[in-house]
Amino acid sequence: MTARLVFLGRLEDIAGAAELAVAPGPLEKVLAALDPALAVELLGERVRMALNGALLGGNEAVVLAPGDELAFLPPVSGG
């Protein structure tokens, strides 16, 4: 079973897809398998992450388990 990356806002356009199925494992390993241009954007300092709908603080070591959903959230722009 895979894990999923979810790209919000302009990150979806950069990734060319709203979601991407990836092999579970440590985040750095997951990112290393992506297009480097996309990986750089995902690691931008204004991009936050949420694991299964819960916002991460930014200092956690993230290891994706099978079925996990990791979302990359650029700054919100208001309704």
How far does CA 12 lie from the centroid of its chain? 10
**Does 68 help bind other proteins (rule: CB under 8 A)?**
no
Strand partners, 69: 4
User: How many residues contact other proteins, by CB under 8 A?
Assistant: 19
CA angle at 65 for the pair 6 and 74, rounded to the nearest 5°:
25
**Per rule CB under 8 A, is residue 12 in the interface with other proteins?**
yes
User: By CB under 8 A, is residue 77 in contact with other proteins?
Assistant: yes
Q: Which parts of this chain interact with other proteins (CB under 8 A)?
A: 6, 8-10, 12-13, 50, 52-53, 55, 69, 71, 73-79
